C-alpha cells in the first residue's frame, strides 16, 4: 500500500494541494482512508492530524451510498454482457469470500470488517458485500460509518503515533 500511496503523491504532487491528494487517495478502492491518513502523516505529506481526519473521512464516505444503492443493478446489467460478465463474477466471488463475518454478525460484523485495517477490508469492500448480501441501507450505512471512525482511530495512532515518532 505504501508504494501505491507514494506513487500517487508523486503523480499528483505539484498539480494539486496536499489536502486534495489525501482526499483523492481516501476515495480510491484498496487505499481508502487508511492510505489517506498514511499519506497525510508526518512520514509523507505532514498534514496536521485534525485537518487530515475530516478530509479523509469525507473522501472515504462519498463512494459508500453509491455502492450500497447502485452496485447490484449495475452488476446485474454488466452480467448480461459478454465482456463484463467474467469480471463481475470474479469481483462478486472475491467479495463474498470475505463475507462470513458480515453474514454472521451483520451490523457489528460490518463495523469490524470496515474498521480493522487489514488487506482486503474497508468501506468499499464492506459496502459491496453488504449490497450483495441484501443488507438494508438503513443498517449498512451507519455500520460502515462507525467502521470508518474505528479505522480513523487506528490509522491515526499508526500514522501519527508510531510513524510520527519515527519520522517526526
**Could you give the percent of the chain with pLDDT greater than 70?**
96
Confirm if 141 and 148 have CB atoms less than 8 A apart.
no
Average pLDDT, integer, range 6-34: 91
Confirm if 114 and 147 have CB atoms less than 8 A apart.
yes
Average pLDDT, integer, range 121-126: 94
Average per-residue pLDDT for the chain = 91
The DSSP line for 83-129 is: TTHHHHHHHHHHHHTT-HHHHHHHHHHHHHHHHS--TT-SHHHHHHH
Predicted pLDDT of residue 168: 55
Confidence band, pLDDT 50/70/90 cuts, at residue 165: low
Amino acid at each position: 500500500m505504501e508504494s501505491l500511496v507514494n506513487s500517487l503523491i508523486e503523480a499528483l504532487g505539484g498539480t494539486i494541494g496536499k489536502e486534495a491528494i489525501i482526499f483523492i487517495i481516501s476515495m480510491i478502492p484498496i487505499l481508502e482512508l487508511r492510505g489517506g491518513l498514511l499519506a497525510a502523516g508526518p512520514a509523507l505529506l505532514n498534514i496536521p492530524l485534525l485537518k487530515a481526519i475530516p478530509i479523509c473521512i469525507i473522501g472515504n464516505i462519498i463512494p459508500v451510498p453509491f455502492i450500497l444503492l447502485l452496485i447490484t443493478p449495475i452488476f446485474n446489467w454488466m452480467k448480461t454482457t459478454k465482456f463484463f460478465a467474467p469480471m463481475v463474477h470474479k469481483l462478486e466471488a472475491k467479495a463474498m469470500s470475505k463475507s462470513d463475518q458480515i453474514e454472521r454478525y451483520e451490523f457489528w460484523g460490518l463495523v469490524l470488517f470496515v474498521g480493522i485495517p487489514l488487506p482486503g477490508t474497508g468501506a468499499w469492500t464492506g459496502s459491496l458485500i453488504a449490497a450483495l448480501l441484501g443488507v438494508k441501507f438503513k443498517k449498512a450505512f451507519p455500520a460502515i460509518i462507525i467502521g470508518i471512525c474505528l479505522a480513523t482511530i487506528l490509522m491515526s495512532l499508526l500514522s501519527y503515533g508510531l510513524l510520527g515518532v519515527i519520522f517526526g
